[in-house]
A and B are shown apart, each in its own frame.
Chain A
Amino acid sequence: MNPLTLDLIKLAFLAVLWLFVIAAVGVVRTDLFDQPTSARKQRRASHGARRAPAPPAPAMPARSAPSRRGSARQLVVTGGSLTGTTITLADQQITIGRAPDATLVLTDDYASTRHARLYPQNGEWIVEDLGSTNGTYLDRQKVTQPMQVPVGVPVRIGKTVLELRR
């Protein structure tokens, strides 16, 4: 067989091998952001809109789809014994505490049984302290009334730190 052809086959095989690796990483990627392609397109579109020079903020209907698309999708534990735990946010509220029926069951000595809850409102996530002993902190501020949680701002419960991620 012609050595040149063999070389081409060799290079093609290596390319296919790497294509497999890249495809696998692609599956990991979509898995990580756990969203169907149509939603991703919408999100990309909304990103584009944000980058466009100062469009007048559209008056979003309170429960419209696009407002949710740009909002947080995951609740990530960034500190404490549950570090690394991720909860995919749905439209359900998330209860946090040591009670076994909480959405996020803490094993934190400084957390109360029903410590706090996170719930969605108008596409934003709100944290509310449920009368805990040691309090809930949004960044450095104590949560005394329901407060909106921006993406990436740490919420502290005892030794546990939570964060919303897109």
Chain B
Amino acid sequence: MSALSDPLSGSGLSRGDAVPVPLPRGRRNAELAMLAFAVAIMLFAFVNVGYGLNGHIPSGLALYVAGFAVLMAAAHIAVRWLAPYADPLLLPLAAMLNGLGIAMIYRLQESGRGSNPGIQIGTLTSHAALTQLMYTAVGVAGFVGVLAVVREPRVLSRYTYTLGTIGLVLLAIPAILPGSLSSVNGAKTWIILGGFSVEPGEFAKILLAIFFAGYLVSKRDVLSLAGKRFIGIDLPRARDMGPVLVVWAASLLVLIFESDIGTSALFFGLFLAMLYIATQRKSWLIIGILLFLLGADIAANLFHHVGDRFTLWFHPFANGNQYGQLAQGLEGMAFGGILGTGLGQGEPFRTALVQSDFIMTGFGEELGLTGLMAILLIFGLIVQRGLRASLAVRDPFAKLLAGGLAFSLAIQIFVIVGGVSQLIPLTGITTPFLSQGGSSLVANWAVIALLMRVSDQARKPAPQPIQDEGMTQVVRAA
């Protein structure tokens, strides 16, 4: 230890001549390469669909792939400009899923049309893939917009209550509107104006995540102070928990009223995860899961359509089930087996709504278990990158927001994939990026933008000090 007798000589600040250690890098070139890979996969998928369906390369191939490539290039340039240090993987992973989704929707739309084999899907128009590409354009515009408007995650915490209120109002609108303006396939979760329909719950998810994050951060210190102790569990004081519980109960009531159990489960999970991240109390998880099981049991007995879901879950192959699609989806995946039938060569059109809720069974049938696992891994990587950004960022609001958004994505995937594979009762909810539908796509691109904003914040090199420590600093008042 004699060499250490004069520690100051080795102090970091005096070592100006040392080897420069690489600064945190944006790795935008890695992002570009992965993005090109994602577009190439979309191209390959389209070619595969064409050969599988009728032995020809699809006529609209250039339009779809070139359009998609231009959109992704625009997103990439925006990231270079607006969030140069953001995570290099989030954008390519989302792009890959989005491209694969468009290819699958194209495959389903072509089924039974022209001279193609299969049955025409009644719920799918002949230009569904093009519409999906247009929604992708809206989604990318929203992605760039969020990156441009939210220059720092902290900005959002100023509007905690405003955004929370907007989120609740968005959720409530379909419940108030008459069925003709809000009901699609039994779920009363839409706003239909003219020929245009929006699912506000997808956006409310983001707004409520921002609200929960802002609220839990400002009340974090109070919340960690224990109130009463109840069977070994510390409960916070009611007045601290009040607003959060009210928002949560309100969102649940609205969702039950709108007969949308999937989204209600998603909100519950989001709420629970963020509460756990903020307070670090495992007891909340136990209370929450018990509450959820209790709620599910009560709902199953009270509401006919919830009870039906449980019956279907226990007996998917029973005769007279009005949700025969679960059985169809399961049979489709069984038909696909390990390697799948190949794109364009299966019969996914037999499953009702295979383009939205059941798109994972369509992939399971045509790409098999192998393809399904790859897709699930890509979802897993998106969630991992989100949680990674949450861990790395120092601002507690951004930490909570990224954690909540990443977790909500994970829950959403679990709810729908678990539902179509009969692991949990089936609830109608979109598969992020893959399902047909504009609201879900645009909202999920906004989620990716927020996650990238947080990761940019986390990976940005610290600003250089203007002067040496200990001296008066000159602050320029601009």
Interface residues of A (CB under 8 A from B): 1, 5-7, 9-14, 16-18, 20-21, 23-25, 27-28, 30-31, 34-36, 39, 63, 65, 68, 73, 81, 84-86, 88-94, 101, 105, 119-122, 126, 128, 145-148
Contact = CB atoms under 8 A, between A and B. Distances in A.
Given A7-B342, A145-B4, A24 B93 contact: yes
B458 to A, nearest CB: 10
Contacts of A121: 3-4, 7, 9-10
Contacts of A25: 381
A31 B10 contact: no
A14 B368 contact: yes
A68 B378 contact: no
A75 B24 CA distance: 14
A153 B34 CA distance: 37
Given A10-B48, A122-B10, A145 B1 contact: yes
Contacts of B17: 63
Given A18-B374, A24-B92, A24-B378, A86 B27 contact: no
A29 B342 CA distance: 31
Given A24-B93, A93-B13, 7 more contacts: A6-B52, A10-B341, A24-B378, A27-B89, A84-B391, A91-B20, A146-B7
B172 interface: no
Nearest to A36: B22
Contact of B37 (A23, A39, A92): A23
B158 interface: no
Interface residues of B, number: 61
Given A7-B342, A14-B339, A24-B34, A31 B88 contact: yes
B367 A14 contact: yes
Contact of A119 (B7, B27, B88, B339): B7
B371 A14 contact: yes
Given A13-B48, A16-B44, A20-B374, A6 B11 contact: no
A128 B22 CA distance: 25
Q: List the 8 shortest-distance A-B pairs measured between CB atoms, nearest first.
A: A121-B10, A93-B12, A10-B342, A1-B55, A91-B18, A146-B7, A92-B12, A17-B374
B443 interface: no
A128 B11 CA distance: 11
B98 interface: no
